[in-house]
Structure 1
Amino acid sequence: MEEELQWIREVLAGNKQAYAHIINKYKNPLYATILRMTKNPQDAQDFVQEAFIKVYERLDQFKETGSFSSWLYRVAINHCLDQYRKKYYQTSSNPIDEERVVNPQHPELVFLKKEKSRQLERLIATLPEDERLIILLRYVNELSYDEISHLADVPVSTVRNKLHRAKKKMRATIKRERVDMSVTDQGLTFKVEDVIADSSRVSLSYLILNQNGKALNAYLNFPNPPNIVTVTDQNGNPIQSFSGGWRDDSDYGQLEFSLREYENVEQVTISFDISEMNGKQGNWQLEIPVDLRENSELTKTIELDKEKTEVSGVTIQLKKWQEAPSSNELKYETMLTQKEQLRIDGQVKNMKEKFKGTGDIPYIHTDTAMAYHIEDEEKNIIYRWNTLDEDNGTSALQSMGQSLEKLGHVDWNDSFIPKKDLSRLTFVLEGVYKAEPSDFSISFHPKELKKEPVSFDYEGNSLSIKKMTKDHEFGLRKSWNPIEKKTSILIEIEGYKEIDGAELGHWILTDDKGDTYPVYGSGSLLNPTDDSGRRETTLELRVYGLKSIPEKAVLHLMSVKRYYPVESEWRIPLY
């Protein structure tokens, strides 16, 4: 994720070539998905190219607190669905097929059978972005759990949990009253139909209607001028955690405001000040009051500010455990101890000095995290967050981390599906993760790899460098055909990773002339384990700026994430 954020920041800063990294990482899985939908290779290729242009145009709308892969697939797949529908189903009037969503093959959604297609759209529009994507992929595109897991880059268990959570919210939403507040000017009406609020978020769906009541394109480019949307609490303090979206094949737009970073919010007011809609200048102002007090009364909070410990150079500061109707949440911070911070900072400086003057040195990634579970009185595990486990997050919704100013300091908010009749829960620490500089290097002769791959072992990773070749990839250019081919050097690595093996981070490559080049990597880790408890893994490392394959090359691993289990349990009551 950090690597993707780096690419996004580079693109938004004006380095358009960095977008090629995103295309290269997602072009094949996205093409496979669209081909499955269209059953036509030429259509799939056309739609994918168009989708990447649309993602590029909307890249500034991605919020770094969310999952980039989920956001990208939402934009890309919705565009492809829209194009496919326009090309082959011009007579279709329902963007979402009710019969498909309530297909008998999916009996868990039979409760929606009597609802009209527009209501389904409205309900789906109010879901959080990651849940909305999974609903669409599962019930509109009819993808399998494994396919969704691959596309969204999350475990199958997470797909199932989010799908269950989304359907539960949709069931609850059907029973609620609609807001139906609107404002009209210049023959256009801006209408807010539904607002869903809980302790963690406020979400709403809206429509743009013409004089005949027909829904128009819902794109408004919130919150950028000339269309402004603001949210304030009962004291007039701004709520700034904004995300929004719309679907080209849907009448509805969706806005969402996260409340996880804010304390004691009892009421919010959502204010719209719209000056341009569907190419018309006008004045559309609307205020939507939302009362959160009823949900607040159902929320139980346990303050944990005094709970602090240190494990293997990582300090853990618990902050709060919160149980609410919508989600249960654990808030905490992880950071390096002062001694560890000085050690790692020294390693980073030494590494930069070592490669100084040889070429571009990438950002050396350092962060911290923890693994833990929450159990009941009988020591049954109710919730769990540990990336070493194949079933990574038991009943987990999401884990959000925000890097703070100091090296390795991260502010975390983990949320879980609420469960009934829980009492006397206990937090149990299992271990900590620490990303730190690495001193590992491996040299090889590229032209000899075909005959004899180079194998190496490093901290639970048994890998082989299989080949190093020139590779043609898609890029962007200003032209009637904005997709162009570019050439990079591709290094393919295969092997196995132990369950508790280190996670390999950023690499750089040095050629036989002593010049250094940044390396951009992507990989996959298969969940099934072999008889030795290992998981099959593949890595694709791309080198840019290297014009030809050298006689000799050296790969330098710049960072590695290690897991350190606790020596003795740290248990904190959550009651």
Structure 2
Amino acid sequence: MKSNQLKAYLSDDLPHSESLLVERHVEECSYCQSELEKIGGELREIRVLGDIPPLPDAFTEEVANKLAHLPFPFQAQDERMQVALNKPINWKKRSMDIMKKTAITVAGLAAAVTFGTMVSPTFANYVNSLFNTVNQADGGMKNAAAEGYVQEVGKKVTDKGITVTVKEVLADPTRIALIFEMVDKDGKKLDFKAGEYGGEFTLTDKAGKDLNPEGDGWRWGKYGDYMLISKNLRDVFDSAEKVPDELTVGFAFNKIRGTEGSWKLDIPIDMKKAKEVAKTIEINQEYTSPQGVVIRLDNIMTVPSASLLSLETHWNEQRNKEYWKLIEEKGWNDAPEEPRKEMRLTPGEIMQDFLTSYNLAYEILDEKGNRIAGRDDTFFKTLNGIEKNSVHSISSGRGEGDSQTMEWWHGFTPFTGYEKLTFKLHSIYLNEPASFEAKIALDELNKQPVTVENSGSTFTFSKFHLKTTEEEEKIGGYKSEGKGGIIEFEATLPKDIVYITDWKAKDEAGNVYSVSMDHSDGEYIRGKDGRVQFKSALFIDGLEKQPKELTISYGIQEHQYRDVNWEVPIQLDK
């Protein structure tokens, strides 16, 4: 299995169905078990948010009015900025120049106009903040930095010649993020590398009560020349009111870049200011799709670093009956009645998990119908092109019950500067059984491509490679780790099918192998007829020699339903 799949699994970037396959593979693969242990719970990077929300019509004038009463005590960051500062001030032009020359995001400035009750910081505070200057900061972080919700810390601890400094903290009712710097005895910065750090984090209130006793949910990641560690507070508190006025984050590293030691500090955080400006707009609208998926839009909470959209989804009675009828007919109700001897899902339980996994896609529109934000939970988001200003690091969900009830919290760059918005449902994604099968003679495949049409899909398999080493290698244009077989292919999926999974391979002797599809290097596009086309490769895990024949199959396909018609107007306080 490839390391990028393991990292995507640990980062919650895989669909639920694909995560199940990874878990099933890791249960039986000692190599991947060691890789997961090495990677730990650490993230390789924080997603970059590239989209910037559109400006309100009166943006420039309003910013100019705000700035007219503020001093500009900051020093120029380079010669280009110094030239700009020495010129006579034209406020309209100056607003645009500042955005370009100091990387002040539109989202951050728009919030400065909207959150009138906040204390406006000088531009120097924003420009100099690491949450603004480091590329990996999402739009919500930049917004919070612009509003003065970054606290300089500067606390440090030294052991074994390594100094750990907490540089800055960003906190509001949706999340806490801390930027760490680590240097050796010569003052050289230590780069973050997954697996080379060990330790734990705690979250307590003023009285010392442990608010996160499981100790989970902390994300570690490289952040420019620094390390960023963050925690989604929605996992702990279900409303801004329940967040204590004072929190303390404690950390205790026991290993840094392979050096064992003890680095401990407590970081107090004042939450009052961020809580005071938190706004929740109740919506409470419900819709039932033709497929029987019930969606309830509960509310939007806006805080300095994000707008958090809360939804609840479940299946109606008819869909639930149809689902259980299918489970009975296929014999997928094979859960053991006796206590399990080992923690492993049965084939039927795996299919149940696939089939009860479903996702949404929707847009947030302004009064003119422009998309200011979008969420798309299919794996290859470029297919629809609606994902915009989504902050995945604070998005989460949880499910319960036989009606497939799910609660969702989706984070976005703050919806500031707007009076009215519209929630528009775009798609519903449902996993369905598939029966694709292709029998391939490998000697023939090595001579010429083999095309197979089956169950509405068309696959052209082109090359077979046998990988005989455990190390990561690039073979046929695709990177893989571990021993196994690699088959390159091109495919066109059936109408409205956007993803396929639950791959298997069986040789002529009846041996069955676990199969994973490469995601990082695949090229997903829509053809002129709207059908999904892509190039990728299959990795056949554990295949040690080339068999005469392989039967390739997949058992699950993700169906995109566009026959939904639901728009919800949302009135905001400007």
TM-score computed with the length of structure 1 as normaliser: 0.63
Instruction: Tell me the equivalent position of 2:313.
Output: 334
In terms of mean alpha carbon deviation, does 328-337 or 381-390 score higher? 381-390
Q: For 1:409 and 1:473, locate their aligned partners in 2 and report how far apart those are by CA, in whole Å.
A: 44
Q: For 1:345 and 1:361, locate their aligned partners in 2 and report how far apart those are by CA, in whole Å.
A: 16
**Equivalent residue letter for 1:507:** W
Q: Is 1:260 matched up with 2:234?
A: yes
Q: Is 1:398 matched up with 2:392?
A: yes
Q: CA deviation at 1:453?
A: 1.4
Change in 2 beyond 3 A, CA 1:56/1:444 = closer
Please list the CA deviations of residues 114-171 of structure 1 after superposition, one character each: whole Å capped at 9, or x if unmatched: xxxxx999955x58xxx96xx26xxxxxxxxxxxxxxxxxxxxxxxxx7666665666
Please state which structure has a larger fraction of its residues in helix. Answer: 1
Q: CA deviation at 1:281?
A: 6.6
Match of 2:553 among 556, 561, 573: 556
Q: CA deviation at 1:238?
A: 0.6
Q: For 2:541 and 2:265, locate their aligned partners in 1 and report how far apart those are by CA, in whole Å.
A: 50
**Equivalent residue letter for 2:309:** L
Q: For 1:458 and 1:538, locate their aligned partners in 2 and report how far apart those are by CA, in whole Å.
A: 19
**Equivalent residue letter for 1:17:** Y
Q: CA deviation at 1:462?
A: 3.7
Q: May I ask how many residue pairs the two structures share in their alignment?
A: 455
Q: For 1:61 and 1:494, locate their aligned partners in 2 and report how far apart those are by CA, in whole Å.
A: 34
Match of 2:250 among 254, 272, 276: 272
Task: List alignment gaps of at least 5 residues for structure 1.
Answer: 20-52, 63-67, 74-97, 114-118, 137-161, 477-483
Instruction: Tell me the equivalent position of 2:199.
Output: 222
Match of 2:437 among 438, 441, 447: 441
> Does the 8 Å CA contact 1:368/1:409 hold for their aligned counterparts?
no
Q: For 2:45 and 2:265, locate their aligned partners in 1 and report how far apart those are by CA, in whole Å.
A: 32
Match of 1:16 among 17, 30, 50: 30
Q: Is 1:111 matched up with 2:86?
A: no
> Does the 8 Å CA contact 1:347/1:437 hold for their aligned counterparts?
no
Instruction: Tell me the equivalent position of 2:61.
Output: none
Q: CA deviation at 1:469?
A: 4.2
Equivalences for 1:195-214 in 2 at 5 Å?
195-207=169-181
Name which structure has the greater RCO, CA cutoff 8 Å, separation 6+: 2
> Does the 8 Å CA contact 2:503/2:554 hold for their aligned counterparts?
yes
Q: For 1:72 and 1:325, locate their aligned partners in 2 and report how far apart those are by CA, in whole Å.
A: 19
Change in 2 beyond 3 A, CA 1:535/1:473 = farther
Please list the CA deviations of residues 220-244 of structure 1 after superposition, one character each: whole Å capped at 9, or x if unmatched: 6231xxxx53343789461456424
Change in 2 beyond 3 A, CA 1:456/1:355 = farther
Q: For 2:161 and 2:482, locate their aligned partners in 1 and report how far apart those are by CA, in whole Å.
A: 48
**Equivalent residue letter for 2:411:** S
Q: Secondary structure at the match of 1:397?
A: strand
> Does the 8 Å CA contact 1:274/1:282 hold for their aligned counterparts?
yes
Instruction: Tell me the equivalent position of 1:371.
Output: 361
**Equivalent residue letter for 1:571:** V
Q: For 1:222 and 1:531, locate their aligned partners in 2 and report how far apart those are by CA, in whole Å.
A: 52
TM-score computed with the length of structure 2 as normaliser: 0.63
Q: For 1:253 and 1:361, locate their aligned partners in 2 and report how far apart those are by CA, in whole Å.
A: 41
Q: CA deviation at 1:202?
A: 1.2
Match of 1:58 among 38, 42, 56: 38
> Does the 8 Å CA contact 1:305/1:319 hold for their aligned counterparts?
yes
> Does the 8 Å CA contact 1:352/1:361 hold for their aligned counterparts?
no
Q: Cα RMSD between the aligned structures?
A: 4.9
**Equivalent residue letter for 1:59:** I
> Does the 8 Å CA contact 2:399/2:405 hold for their aligned counterparts?
yes
Q: CA deviation at 1:559?
A: 1.0
Match of 2:275 among 292, 296, 316: 296
> Does the 8 Å CA contact 2:176/2:232 hold for their aligned counterparts?
yes
> Does the 8 Å CA contact 1:361/1:508 hold for their aligned counterparts?
no
> Does the 8 Å CA contact 1:222/1:229 hold for their aligned counterparts?
no
Change in 2 beyond 3 A, CA 1:533/1:216 = closer
In terms of mean alpha carbon deviation, does 432-441 or 228-237 score higher? 228-237
Change in 2 beyond 3 A, CA 1:242/1:542 = closer
Identity of aligned residues (%): 18
